[in-house]
Amino acid sequence: MQAAQRWVLLAYRLPREPSTPRIALWRRLRQLGAVQLLDGLVGLPLDAHTREQLEWLAEGIQEAGGGATIWLAEPAGRGHGDALVDEVRTDRSAEFRAVAAAAERAWEEAPMTRRRTLARLRRELRRIRARDYFGAPGRAEAEAAVEALAAAIEVDA
Amino acid sequence: MKWATRAGCHVDRAACAWLIRRWLDPEAQFIFVDDPADVPQDATPFDMRGAALSHREGRCSFETFLVHYELADPVLAEVGRIVHEADLADERYDAPEAPGLDALIRGLALVRGDPEVLAITGSLFDGLYELLRQRPSPPELSMSP
């Protein structure tokens, strides 16, 4: 049997005001592709990088007057773990599909605009790939759509 | 002096070690530990939970060193922005060098141990510093119309 996916969890509470630290935390968790298990409990697939990032966030929460603890966990039942993995994959797939759709729409744009769109989509793809922990479906399609746009721009130039 | 940090060095710790050796303590000895509780009494911890020389207020540890030791060199500040983005990738700065630096050091750490990673990245950071130092600097913002 395949070993269960292990997770690093951040349990936290943060005062509602001021809102700046809360917003910064949410923004960072979204960048990392964290899943929300409960209010004040988020998780990422465990590796040295994700663990370290959540540890720094925990420190930041304490600096902001909140409380935070870090846990290493594995699901007691396979179903719980699978559901979490599915959630991460579904979220990433939606992001990849959005990039592919934007790349297809960009064919309608004027050449200068299209060039800027290409640069933006490449950056966006890089961000999504960095949090694509389980090889979500749609990645290859998104990459192909963006690179097709790049090739078209070269032909135009 | 003795300096302690977590084992498994990546870009931020490698950059801090370079900064320590080159700018603060040429005789620095580095100790690698797995837990903050294992830091020897006579060692200064960095880039670890609970250490003063660590991530603070959104800064990476390297940037915290610059603030703590009042290193005002603008070239070091630029190195700091690159290290920040290579470590955190939170897009606080525009640092196109960062993803490449991240990949190189991440890969190096897969095939070499910490002392060797620090030795090799020491040369890398020497070179990065020199490159940025020699880069023509833009003229000061002009206040006249």
Q: Environment class of residue A116 by beta-carbon count within 10 Å: exposed (0-12), middle (13-18) or buried (19+)?
A: exposed
Chain B environment of A60 (Cβ under 8 Å) = 55, 57-58
Rounded mean pLDDT, A36-57 = 93
Q: What is the pLDDT of residue B111?
A: 95
Instruction: Note whether A72 contacts B: Cβ–Cβ < 8 A.
Output: no
pLDDT at A22 over 80: yes
Is some CB atom of chain B closer than 8 A to the CB atom of A59? yes
Average pLDDT, chain B: 92
When pLDDT is cut at 50, 70 and 90, the band that residue A2 belongs to is low
Min Cα–Cα distance to chain B from A54, Å: 11
Q: What is the number of CB-based contacts under 8 A between chain A and chain B? A: 22
- What is the pTM (predicted TM-score) of this model? 0.84
Mean pLDDT confidence for B43-47: 95
Are A60 and B89 within 8 A, CB to CB?
no
| B139: pLDDT strictly greater than 80 | no
The tally of CA atoms less than 13 A away on the side-chain side of residue A11 is 5
Query: pLDDT tens digit string along A63-103?
Result: 899 999 999 999 998 888 899 999 999 999 999 999 999 99
Q: Report pLDDT for B31.
A: 94
Tens of pLDDT, residue by residue over A7-21, are 999 999 999 888 999
Interface test with A, best of B35, B54, B55, B114 (most A CBs within 10 A): B55
What is chain A's mean pLDDT, rounded? Answer: 92
Q: Is the pLDDT of residue A156 over 80?
A: no
Helix boundaries (H) for B5-68: 11-19, 61-68
Give yes or no for A63 touching B (CB within 8 A). yes
Nearest-10 crossing angle of helices A111-130, A139-156: 150
CA distances from B143 to A136, B136, B139, B140 (A): 52, 21, 12, 9
Which residues of chain B make contact with A59, given a CB cutoff of 8 A?
49, 54-55
Model pLDDT for residues B50-72, shown as the tens digit of each residue: 899 999 988 999 999 999 999 99
- Would you call A20 an interface residue with chain B, using a CB distance cutoff of 8 Å? no
- pLDDT recorded at residue B145: 54
Question: What is the model's pLDDT at position B9?
Answer: 87
- Alpha-carbon Rg of chain B, whole angstroms? 16
Nearest to A89 by CA among A136, A128, A46, A45: A136
